[in-house]
Structure 1
Amino acid sequence: MKISMWSIGKAHEGYVKAGIDDFTKRIGKYYPVEWQVIAPPKNAGLLLEADLKKKEAEIILQALRPDDYLVALDERGKGFNSEGLARFLQQRANESVRQVVFLIGGAFGLDEQVWKRANHLWSLSDLTFPHQLVRLILAEQIYRACTINRNEKYHHK
């Protein structure tokens, strides 16, 4: 199983890049892993919120393969604790899912078309975080889930 983490926006900013790179490398011991930072549509600042979300949805839906398991990070989603995320990942691996895509939407969230395509909606927290920090938290939590599944010492409970 391959893990892909997609985010709409700018490249990783310096204050989180080292952490994202470190956790991504660590995840690579367990699964093939990659980041894909998707540039916002041209003239995004001139578009209405709904139009921007639709354009972003077109880009996302075009990039997805039919057999990709899409986990959309969205405030309407279901939360996990760390052990729950570990079980979720293990279940996808057991189902022989080829690729799990974790998607962080743009500044205004995700369009309804993406929600409908998503296999799972995941709420990372009731709190609101900057998109750059969400990237770091996502990478760390996926790494944590991998260590839980291997019964390694990283996660203390």
Structure 2
Amino acid sequence: MKIQLWSVGKVHESYVKEGIDDFTRRIANYFPVQWQIIPVPKQAATLSESALKKAEAAAILSQLEKDDYLVLLDERGKQFSSPELADFLQKRANESTRTIVFLIGGAFGVDEMVAKRANTVWCLAKLVFPHMLVRLILAEQLYRACSILRNEKYHHS
């Protein structure tokens, strides 16, 4: 199974890039993994919130493959403990999921078209974080889930 981490916005800011890169390298010991940063549309400042979300949705949906398993990160989603996230990953692997895409939407969230396409909606926390920190938290939690699957010492339950 391949893991893709997608985020709408700018490239990783320097204050989180080192951590994101570190955890991404660690995940690569378990699954092939890559980041994809989907740029905000150039005319974003002139678009309404709804129009911006539709433009971002078009970019996201055009890059998704039919069989990709889409996990949308959204505050209205289901919360997982770290062991539950590990079980979730294991189930996707057992189902022979070829690619699982974890998506961090834009500043205003995602258009309903993307939400409807999502196979799972996951809430990292009820708190709201800056997108850059969500990227770091996502990478760390996926690494933690991988280490749980292998009974490694990183996660202490």
Question: What TM-score bracket applies, with the shorter chain setting the length?
Answer: over 0.9
Give, in whole Å, the separation in 1 of the partners of 2:78 and 2:110.
Answer: 15
* Paired position in structure 2 for 1:37: 37
* Alignment gaps of 5+ in structure 2: none
* Paired position in structure 1 for 2:3: 3
Give, in whole Å, the separation in 2 of the partners of 1:77 and 1:71.
Answer: 10
The AA in structure 2 aligned to 1:101 is V
TM-fit CA distance, 1:76 = 1.2
Give, in whole Å, the separation in 2 of the partners of 1:73 and 1:110.
Answer: 10
Equivalenced residues, count:
157
After TM superposition, the structure 1 = structure 2 runs for residues 37-56 of structure 1, keeping only pairs within 5 Å, are 37-56=37-56
1:111 equivalenced with 2:111 (yes/no): yes
Residue-by-residue CA offset, 1:52-94 (whole Å, 9 max, x unaligned): 0010000000000000000000111101010010000000000
SS of residue in 2 equivalent to 1:3: strand
* Paired position in structure 2 for 1:153: 153
* Paired position in structure 2 for 1:125: 125
Give, in whole Å, the separation in 2 of the partners of 1:116 and 1:76.
Answer: 13
* Paired position in structure 2 for 1:98: 98
The AA in structure 2 aligned to 1:84 is E
Structure 1 consecutive aligned stretches of length 4 or more whose deviation exceeds 2 Å: none
SS of residue in 2 equivalent to 1:76: strand
* Paired position in structure 1 for 2:78: 78
* Paired position in structure 1 for 2:27: 27
TM-fit CA distance, 1:132 = 0.2
Give, in whole Å, the separation in 1 of the partners of 2:59 and 2:43.
Answer: 15
After TM superposition, the structure 1 = structure 2 runs for residues 129-144 of structure 1, keeping only pairs within 5 Å, are 129-144=129-144
CA RMSD of aligned residues (A): 0.4
**Identity of counterpart residues, as a percentage?**
68
* Alignment gaps of 5+ in structure 1: none
The AA in structure 2 aligned to 1:18 is E
| Structure-1-length-normalised TM-score | 0.99
